Amino acid sequence: MTTHAFIDIAAESRTDARVPPRAGRDWALFLDIDGTLLDIASTPGSVRVPPSLPRLVETIAGLLDGALALVSGRAIADIDRLFDPLALPTAGQHGGEIRPRAGGVARRVRAESAIDDHVRAGIERLARQAPRIRVEDKGLSVAFHYRYAPQLREWLHRHLERIATTAASPLRILEGRMVWELLPVGHDKGTAVDEFMRAPPFLGRVPIFVGDDVTDEDGCLAAIRHGGHALRVGPRRVLDRPIAFADPGAVRHWLAQLPAMLLAPDACRT
């Protein structure tokens, strides 16, 4: 693998606010996607994956003996489309579904969905009332994007609270960037990290969670609980962590340096 393969990523270099810890071959890397690996776009479907990113991520995963997972609010099927042809260890829908091993089968953490017919009926009513809100049904969770109607943020939250309190199974409401998400309680990015860390290739490694949003806080806490680090991307609050990367471009620049760092003689297991 030559460095020039990642030139389109390295060219996007940014200045880091805080130098990340020294990379080790004993790391387990957990990467959020939107706002961390990829620049935020106006809709989830319009994000751009830099052409060399999948291969770079695959190279790093190889150097970590496979201990690299994507941890996102997106559904795993959607993540696989973005990172095709990779099928990395992945947690989707905020830990609602998980593929513990590369190339393995993705499974739901709970057999039944908490988004039942009653909840769906409430969501359909809401969508009819506010057609400018984009409703994204991911199966285990539903996202309500209000980017095109930001004035409806509070109105939307009130309605989602009403839906959540009348649901048969407990639901919680999570805020992301210009989006509210309705999802079951009982799993989050932290429970996903816990599950990955229970088995090889993650077991016994130092977890590093990289995320940009409050939705990453559970994952960050889990990484710290397992003796690792949480690295924040950008200006949004993540556990009051200092900013490690100014933006996704800085994360990609750092990732482009990682293969060399991990192959350096002094990067052996710490």
Q: Which residues bind Mg ion (CB under 5 A)?
A: 32, 34-35, 212-213
Quick one: tokens of 196? 């990955």
Q: Quick one: 213 or 217, whose CB is closer to Mg ion? A: 213
Place of tokens 């190279």: 59
Q: Quick one: 164 or 238, whose CB is closer to Mg ion? A: 238
Give me the least distance between CB of 216 and Mg ion, in Å please: 6
Give me the least distance between CB of 94 and Mg ion, in Å please: 11
Q: Quick one: 248 or 259, whose CB is closer to Mg ion? A: 248
Query: What residues have CB less than 8 Å from 219, skipping those under 6 apart?
Result: 30, 32, 71, 188, 189, 190, 192, 193, 209, 211, 230
3-class DSSP assignment, residue 116: coil
In single-letter form, the type of residue at position 240 comes to: D
Q: Quick one: 36 or 201, whose CB is closer to Mg ion? A: 36
DSSP state of 34: B
Is 65 annotated in the active site?
Answer: no
Residue of 26, 32, 188, 212 marked active site: 32
Give dist(CA 71, CA 235) in Å, integer: 20
Give dist(CA 195, CA 96) in Å, integer: 12
Catalytic sites, residue numbers? 32
